[in-house]
Each structure stands twice: as C-alpha cells, then as structure tokens.
Amino acid sequence: MISLDGPREAFLDRLRTGRRLSPHTLDAYSRDLADYAAFARLHGLEDWSRASATLVDGYLASLLKRGLAGSTVARRRSALRGFHAFLASEGLKADDPFARMPAARRERRLPHALPVEDIERLLAQPSGDRPLALRDRAMFELAYASGLRVSEVCGVERRGLDLAGRTVSVSGKGRRERVVPFGRAAERAVLEYLARARPVLCARTRHDLLFVNARGGRLSRLGFWKILRGHARAAGLASRAHPTPFAIRSRRTCSRGARTCAWSRSFWDTCRSRRPRSTRISTGATCGRSIAPSTLGPNWKREWRRLSPEHNPRRTE
C-alpha cells in the first residue's frame, strides 16, 4: 500500500504548493485518486510502475458503468492524466499511458438561469424575524446582488464588508482578492441580519465570519446548498426549476444576454488599456470579469452605476 499511497500524496503536495489550487479542488483530486488507487489494488497492482493503458481504460470504463456524470468522468480523467505525468517526471514510471491517448472532449452546457419571477419568489421565501430566516435572506440577497461564488459567500468576513460603500472584499480562485459592489436590497438585508440575528447565533462563538450556521460555526458549501434547496421546495421551485447556487449567480451575471454584454462592453472600454492587478473589483454582472481599482479612478462606483442603469431592478431599490 505504501508504494501506491506515497506517490499519490506527493502529487497532491505538488498541486498544493506548486499550483496553489483551492482546498476544494485538492479535496476533489484526493477523492478521485483514492478511488483510482482502490481500483488498482482490486486488480492486483502493487506499484505504479506497472500501471498500463489497459488499467486506465478499465478504470474509465468502470466509471461509465457506475453511471457517473460525464463531467465527473472528465474531471477524474484529468486528475489521472496529471498524476501519471507526475509519475513519469519523477522517474517512478518509465512511460505515461496518457501520452498516447487523445484528450477527452468535455460536454459543454449553457448555464441554467432561473426566471426573474422564480428568483423573486426564492428571495422572498425566508420570511419572518427568526435569526435563521434573517440569515438566509441576507445570504440570498448578497449572493444574487453580487454574483459571488458559494464558497466566497460562506467565507465573507465582517471586516471585508463596507456597508457605507456597498462593497464586499472576497478572496476567490487563486487566492486573488477582489472588491465586489452590491445593491441597496442586499444592504438592508445584511444590516438587519447583523443587528438582529448574528449576535444571537454567535452568542457562544467568536470569529469574524459574516454568515454562520445554526450553532454559530462556519457555514459550509453543503450547508448553503441544503438551505437553498429547502427554501426552493417551500417556494414550489425544486420540482421544475432545480435551483442551484450557480443558478442564482447565472441569473445575476449571464441571463440578460445581449443587454448585459452591451453595457459590459461600455464599462470595459473605460479600462481596456490598463493591466489588472492582484486586488480587483468585480462588477458582478459582467460574467465574472474583474478589474483593478486604479483602473477607473476614485469615481469607479459612479461610473459603474451610470453604465448599468436598470440592469438589476433590486440594485436600485
């Protein structure tokens, strides 16, 4: 077992230190390689130097027989390709079985976005004055208004929140920090949550995270997913719309089509010749693009709002 687990852990350390992948990506790679190692042991493999293209083909075929989604199979194939390239570069294997394999074609899908009416019903679902209802309302409003990733919403800290300027500082992929604006509806919901709900939820804990779970601890991505699904079922959306955290983001960032792209192009014309820096400002409605704060000067908020009138009705509430 040592001969199989040692190189696997070394590869994960390389990804952690060399490529600076996020913890979620590393967890996914670790699970994928652990499943591959279990398959190899089941077929009598004791050392990675004996791994052949036949073993790889057999493993990929077993994934299809298990009914895994095409995106999952593609991700595991990518993990295996990188792992075997690592083994060959470290001299732990004479050849790379993926060197002669064609690259897999990933299935490309359009992002699913909920209609505006369904989004309004979902945002209005966390009703009442209970602490958890106030927290859910603030989370959904902030996620919808800013276009943040779920991991970013769960990791927002109070010190990164500027309610006066209606911006939030988050650390995203590659540990890059960016500043994201949000609207008045999200501001009101977050203010109410901070005043009436968070002190109750965090009565026995001390940390700077903005959103917490029912016990006052860190809210996980899975916890956000369960909360969203519960409110979607209560609003009558789960059976026909399959709302996901990404559906909220894509409704905010991509669903207005040409209208979004038109004002985005106008906004980006003002900073096209500048080079982005490590700390960035994300517009939230420009399909994930971000720019340096120095690009637009001190009046970047005014310029952003001028170029996006009525883009999001909740922004002007």
Give the Cβ contact number of residue 268 at 10 Å.
Answer: 15
Identify whether the C-beta of residue 238 lies closer than 8 Å to the C-beta of residue 252.
no
Radius of gyration, CA atoms only, the chain:
23
CA 271 from centre of chain: 26
Q: For the chain, what's the residue count?
A: 317
Tens of pLDDT along the chain (317 residues) come to 446 788 888 898 888 888 777 788 888 889 999 999 999 999 888 888 888 888 888 998 899 889 888 878 888 888 898 898 888 888 888 778 877 776 666 666 666 677 888 888 889 999 899 999 999 999 999 998 888 888 899 999 999 999 999 999 988 776 788 899 998 999 999 999 999 999 999 988 888 999 999 999 999 988 998 999 899 889 888 655 455 555 565 555 443 333 333 333 344 444 333 333 334 444 444 333 444 444 455 565 565 555 554 444 444 44
pLDDT attached to residue 105? 65
The DSSP letter of residue 52 is: -
CATH of domain 116-316: 1.10.443.10
Torsion from C-alpha of 200, 203, 208, 209, nearest 10 degrees: -50
Residue ranges of domains in the chain: 2-100, 116-316
pLDDT attached to residue 97? 80
Burial (0-12, 13-18, 19+ Cβ within 10 Å), 263 = buried
CATH of domain 2-100: 1.10.150.130
Q: Which of 284, 304, 286 is nearest to 295 (CA)?
A: 304
Identify whether the C-beta of residue 265 lies closer than 8 Å to the C-beta of residue 306.
no
